[in-house]
Every structure is written in C-alpha cells, then in structure tokens.
Amino acid sequence: MEGIFSLDFLLTVVQEAFRLKIIIFSALGVFTGVTVGAIPGIAGDVAIALLLPFIYNLQPVAALGLLLGIYKGSMFGGAISAITFGVPGTGGAVVTVEDGYPAKKNGYPKKAMLTALFSSVTGDIVSTVILVFLALPLAMVALKFGPKEYFSLYVFAILMISLLLQGGMKKGLMAAAIGLLLGCIGMDPITGTTRLTFGIRHLRGGVPLIPLLIGMFAISELMTQYLKAWYRNRSKYIKESELSESSSKLSKESGYNPSKDIMSFKVYLSTLKATFIGSFMGTFIGALPGAGSSLAAFVSYGLAKRLSLHPEQFGKGSLEGVAAPEAGNSATVGSSLIPLITFGIPGSATAALIGAAFMMMGMQPGPLMMQDNMPAMYTFFVVILYASIMNLFIGYFLIPIYAKFSMIKPRFIYPLLFILAIFGTYASRNSIIDIWLLLAAGLLGTLLKKAKYPLGPLVLAFIIGPGAERSLRQALLIGQGEWSSLLKSPIAIGFYAVTVVTIILITKAKFQEKFS
Amino acid sequence: MKRFFLNYDLFLVGFITLIGLVGLVYFQFGMSPGPTGPFIFPKLSCFIIFIFGVLTMIDTLGEKHADTDPEVNILSVVLFGILSILYVLFFSRIGIITATFLFLVFSFSILSPKGVASLKSSIAYSAFLTFLLWIIFVQIFKIILPQYLLF
C-alpha cells in the first residue's frame, strides 16, 4: 500500500494512461457521447449498452475510457439540442431548456452553449477529483464490512433506487423486485442449485447480462421511438424542417448580432457560483444510488435560483440557469462511480452499465477492486480526468457543427441501432437464443415503460441482486437462520435507520405534494 | 381509449402480482429449502412483488385517469416487434447479411417522409451500411455470423 504514492508508481500510471491507443479510444468515446447526446431520444446509456459486446478484445483501460468518454460526452451533448431547438437531448438536459432556449431566442446562443460546456466540464472535473480522493479511503472502510453490513447497504441502495426516481414509489419497488427475481434465475451463488430455469439449459448460467441490458436500454427505446420517427415525418409531430426554419427565423427576428454573442472569461466568472452549486449538488446526488442526472439538474437549478442575486431572470435566458443544471448533471458522472467502485453498488443505471463493463474485464466492482487492480484503477482515474478536458475541446469544436444541423435525423439512426444491437448481442456469445432473449427483454422493458414502471431499479437490482443474496444468506448462515441476527451490527442498524428516515421523509414530501 | 389504458395498467399490475403470488406459493410449499437455502431470496423477491403489486392495484382501481406513458405508442411497439421478429426469423433462414439489407431498405422506406418514393436512395443507403457492417464485423472483428441459404 505504501507504494501507491511512490514516484515510480505515479510515473507508470501516467505513462500507461497516455498511451496513444487509450487516448484515441477516450477521444472516440467523448465524440460518440456528444453526438448521441445531441440526438433527442438516444442517451449515452443506449450507446454504452450497444458497445458492451465489443469491448472484450480491448485493453481494460482503453475500453473503460471509451465507455466513460461516452458517459461524459453525452451529458454535455444533451444541452446542444436543448439550447438550439428547445428539445432536450437527454433526460439530464430537460432543465437546461428552461433558460437555454430563451437565451438562444434572446440572441446569445453561443454564450449559452459555451456556458453549458464550461459548467459541464467544471462539474465533471469536481466530481472526478472527489472520486479519485474518496475511492481508496471508502474502499478501505468497505473492507471492514461483513455480510450483515453489506446486506443492510444493499437494502438501502435498492430502496433509494426505487424511491428517488421520479414516479411511483410502489412501481419502483416492484420493478426492483422483478430485477431481483430475474437475477435469481440460474445457479444460486452459495450451493449451485439451479432455480427458475424451467428446464431451459441455456438459462443455467443465469439470464445473460448483455441481451438484458441492450434489450432494456436500447430495444425498449427503439420500440418506443420507431413509429414516432414515422409520425414526425408525416407532420403529426413537429417537422424537423419547420423546427429548423422557425429556429433560424427566431434568430433573424431577434436581430442576432454575432459581435454581441461572445463568450468571455468574465461571463464564465459570472456563472461560477451557479456552476459550483451544480457541481457539489450533482456530486452529492450522483453518489446516492439511483438518484440520477435529472434529479441532480433539477435540484441544482432550484438551489442556484434561490441563491442567485438575480432570481427573476431565471426562465428568461439566465446563463446561471444554464450553468447550474449542466454542472449538476455532469457532476453525477464521477460520483455515481463512487458507490460502484467502493461497495460494488452503482449510483445510476449508466454506472450499472460501467459496472457490467468492469465485470466483463474481470474486475469485480467492490471494496477489493481498488486493492486488486491498483495500477489499472489509478490509470483509469487519470484517463477519466483527461477525458473531461477532451470533452471541453471536442465539445467546443462540435457545437457549431451540431447546432447547424436542422437536427440529427433519428430515422437514419434507429434502424442502424437495431442492427447493431442484434449483431452485438450475437457476437457476445454466438448464440441465436441470446437474440430472442434480447427481444424479450426489449418487449418487457417497453410494456413496463408504458405503465410507468421505471427500468433503472430493475436493471440495478438485477446486477446487485446476486451480491445481495450472497450477503443475506451468509449473514443468515452465521446467525443460524435467525433473521434478528441481521440487526446485530451497529453499522447495519445505522443503514436501516437511515433507510427508514429517508422513507418517512420522502413519503411525507409526496403526501404534501399530493394534497397541496 | 382512456378506458383501454386504465385496463392495460390494471392488467399489467395484475399479471405481475399473480407471478409474485404463484412464486410465493411455489417457494413456500413446493420447496423445502430451510431458512438459509437457495429459495429464500426468490421467495423474498416474490413477496415484495406481491405486496407492492396489491398496493399498486388498489391505487390503480381508485384512479379515474390512466397512469400510462403517452410517449410509448402501442402501435409502434407492435410494428417494431413484428419487424424485428421477421428479421430474426429471416436471418435464421436466408442469412444475416441479406436479411439486414432487406430490413434496412424496408425501414428507411417507411420512415422516409417521401415513403416508397424514396426507394432508390433507401436501397443505396442500405447497401452501403450493410457493406460497412460486413467490413466491421466480419473482416475487422472476425465475428462468425450465421450463414444460411444466402450470404
């Protein structure tokens, strides 16, 4: 452990992180992320899910740099269409529309876009630095956890995932329980007994991760969006060309003067307070399992408005109103990896996909991951730090290009994404059955989405389910089958107490909202 | 339409709750694993599904308006579902490259604003993409794709 801070170790890590191959893959990831983020309806998680089957042959750090680059890039990419067309590219950019689009209408789209970029990168760097400094100490604490403590942490995480997502709490918990049940299919983790396979040999090893993830994230989205693209083209929805025309008309009507729309350091400084509010709120919220980038953006926007010297300008094109949510949603990227790397519990659905990538690379997320893969993990940290800087440069050059597109037309993208999903799933195990599982997972995801069941808890519970089961059964075995033994640990009691208090607070807030 | 979606919501929650109940009964009475055996966790999952399923059903019955997502268009799901099943069935018969080309031509044609009128450009675009996919997957990634009757 003393070797961590030695010069040799740091030099090795930096040398490894700056290998050309790793730089290229990270840059490719950021480019892909900004691009998919700019396309409404396709978020970074869809791109990450689709790329999962192809990372087997890559070096772990290059593969993780690629995926993290997409995660980071997509957070900013969502702001491009939010500001240019008033259509958020990702869920995290929904709040950016509030001030970003009015800013464009008021004649300063460039300032709004660059404010979004700079605040996004600032938020991202803040949370990544916190991740780097917190990961190792927290992993050391996590090493002291036994099965009882772990199970209480899993209970806390699953409940948080279900409660903090927008929408019904009961549906969130049901979705999580469906994920837990799907995770039980196959051999059990303690005795190897086969369960819930219904005689299907293919399921003995459990539901394969890739078809489930791609099905839930990509296929369900494609099923939802497919006809919408058709409708949109037949003017039942807003025509893209009209959107573009109205957008350019707006600029002309507002008397757009490029000389008045110049980003400067002074403008950046004027939004710095909102940027830091977003950065720290986003980092905090991102570290809570399941809270996600949308919630971080909403809370950051609300807090920045409350603490602003000019709250009356919010909603009318305030640059602070662009900076806070953008810093907030991007700050969730680094912090959502904190619980994943230290406890093996992803902080968001996208972090769950990154967790799946870690597993595919032979690195099991959890407290031992830092200890067992020290050089690789610190190389990874250096890569995600410089990926933030890449995001700044790539975003800067892509803004004028993507803002000039009338919109990246989804009709060219959806069929291709479907084919990539099929090829990727097949390539992962050369199995046609996996393709049928992919379609089944997509259909299940769509049916649940229609009735407003959130898919995030399902996927997260599916991934952490086996760990939760192992902890529960080990704790029960140690306690000779007594459920009360789960409470014989101060740390576990602490987690249960926090869980109960959070449930009470959230239920109270929801009741107040309902009756007001 | 509202009535249909209210029923859809109710049907779905009812179906999931039934799965929870069946699982609960099966693991409680059909298996004898002991308090720390392999069926304790699936039983716990089914229990949570059943309890929250019943609570959600009570909520749904009390609602006057459907709590469904209007963004998810059932027609879109059905159309895409049929297309994707046909695609998988086709590539299991005629080969993945040929099936991919046909799927792309069909998709681009129906998603184009000009409809079938844009058939020529759809064919050209699909041919280019299919070739690109073949280069990437077969030549670069060396993935052995299923080959049947045709390419």
Res A253: pLDDT: 47
Nearest CA in chain A to B121: A412
Alpha helices in A308-452 (DSSP H): 319-335, 337-343, 349-360, 367-372, 374-404, 410-429, 432-450
Which of B50, B52, B106, B137 should we substitute to test contact with A (largest number of A Cβ atoms within 10 Å)? B52
Q: DSSP of A196-250, one letter per residue?
A: S-TT-GGGTT-S-HHHHHHIIIIIHHHHHHHHHHHHHHTTSS--HHHHHHHHHHH
CB-CB neighbors (< 8 A) of A226 in chain B: 76, 79-80, 111
d(CA A255, CA A251): 6
d(CA A483, CA A488): 10
Domain, as residue range, for A392: 2-515
Asked if residue B116 has pLDDT above 60, the reply is no
Question: Which burial class, exposed, middle or buried, applies to B41 when counting CB atoms under 10 A from its CB (0-12, 13-18, 19+)?
Answer: buried
ipTM of this complex prediction, to 2 decimal places:
0.88
A367 is written with which tokens? 């407290």
Calculated CA dihedral for residues A313, A318, A324, A327, nearest 10 degrees: 180
Whether residues B104 and A432 touch (CB distance < 8 A) is answered with no
Question: Which burial class, exposed, middle or buried, applies to A253 when counting CB atoms under 10 A from its CB (0-12, 13-18, 19+)?
Answer: exposed
State mean pLDDT over B34-50. 86
Res A202: pLDDT: 84
Res B59: pLDDT: 83
Torsional sign, CA A71, A72, A74, A75: positive
**Chain A: closest CA distance from residue B61 (Å):** 14
d(CA A300, CA A498): 23
- The band of B45, judged by pLDDT with boundaries at 50, 70 and 90, is very high
Count residue pairs from A and B with Cβ separation < 8 A: 176
**Tens digit of each residue's pLDDT (9 = 90 or more) over A184-242:** 998 888 887 888 888 888 888 888 888 888 888 788 888 877 766 565 555 444 444 44
Number of Cβ within a 10 Å radius of residue A485: 17
Q: Which residues contact B42 (CB under 8 A, 6 or more apart)?
A: A181, A184, A195, A196, B23, B27
Number of Cβ within a 10 Å radius of residue A5: 8
Torsional sign, CA B116, B117, B119, B124: negative
Whether residues B143 and A427 touch (CB distance < 8 A) is answered with yes
Amino acid found at A199 = G
- A171 and B CB contact within 8 Å: yes
Torsional sign, CA A475, A479, A484, A487: negative
- B95 and A CB contact within 8 Å: no
What are the phi and psi torsion angles at A455 (to 5°)?
A: -85, -20
Question: Which burial class, exposed, middle or buried, applies to A436 when counting CB atoms under 10 A from its CB (0-12, 13-18, 19+)?
Answer: middle
Nearest CA in chain A to B137: A423
A314 is written with which tokens? 């919010």
A265 is written with which tokens? 């350091």
Res B148: pLDDT: 61
B113 is written with which tokens? 């604003």
State mean pLDDT over B22-50. 82
B36 is written with which tokens? 């720390």
d(CA B2, CA A463): 36
* DSSP letter, residue A59: -
A409 is written with which tokens? 């037309």
d(CA B98, CA A427): 18
- Which of A176, A418, A432 lies at the smallest CB-CB distance from B84? A418
d(CA A239, CA A255): 24
Whether residues B88 and A435 touch (CB distance < 8 A) is answered with yes
- The torsion region of residue A69 among left (phi > 0), alpha (psi -120 to 50) and beta comes to alpha
Res A124: pLDDT: 92
Res B5: pLDDT: 57
**Helical axes A349-360 vs A60-85, angle rounded to 10°:** 160
Q: Is B91 helix (H, G, I), strand (E, B) or coil?
A: helix
- Which of A222, A224, A448 lies at the smallest CB-CB distance from B71? A224
The CA–CA distances, whole Å, from A122 to A37, A263, A466 equal: 18, 16, 36
- Which of B8, B39, B45 lies at the smallest CB-CB distance from A451? B8
How many domains does chain A divide into? Answer: 1
Residues 222-241, chain A: which have Cβ within 8 Å of B?
Answer: 222-230, 233-234
CB B56 within 8 A of CB A177: no
**Chain A: closest CA distance from residue B104 (Å):** 6
What is the per-residue burial (b if ≥16 Cβ within 10 Å, else e) of A180-196? bbbbbbbbbbeeeeebb
Amino acid found at A6 = S
CB-CB neighbors (< 8 A) of B75 in chain A: 227
Q: How far apart are the first and last CA of chain A?
A: 55
Q: Is B33 helix (H, G, I), strand (E, B) or coil?
A: coil
d(CA A276, CA A174): 36
**Chain A: closest CA distance from residue B20 (Å):** 9
d(CA A13, CA A337): 20
Q: Is A186 helix (H, G, I), strand (E, B) or coil?
A: strand
Residues 110-139, chain B: which have Cβ within 8 Å of A?
Answer: 110-113, 125, 129, 133, 137
Domain boundaries in chain B?
A: 2-61, 74-140
Whether residues B141 and A57 touch (CB distance < 8 A) is answered with yes
Q: Which of A354, A298, A347 is nearest to A326 (CA)?
A: A298
Q: Which residues contact A192 (CB under 8 A, 6 or more apart)?
A: none
Q: pLDDT under 50 in chain A at which residues?
A: 235-246, 253, 406
Which of B18, B46, B77 should we substitute to test contact with A (largest number of A Cβ atoms within 10 Å)? B77
d(CA A33, CA A12): 28
Number of Cβ within a 10 Å radius of residue B3: 8
The chain-wide mean pLDDT, for chain A, equals 82
- B145 and A CB contact within 8 Å: yes
A232 is written with which tokens? 């949109």
Q: Which residue has the higher pLDDT, B110 or A129?
A: A129
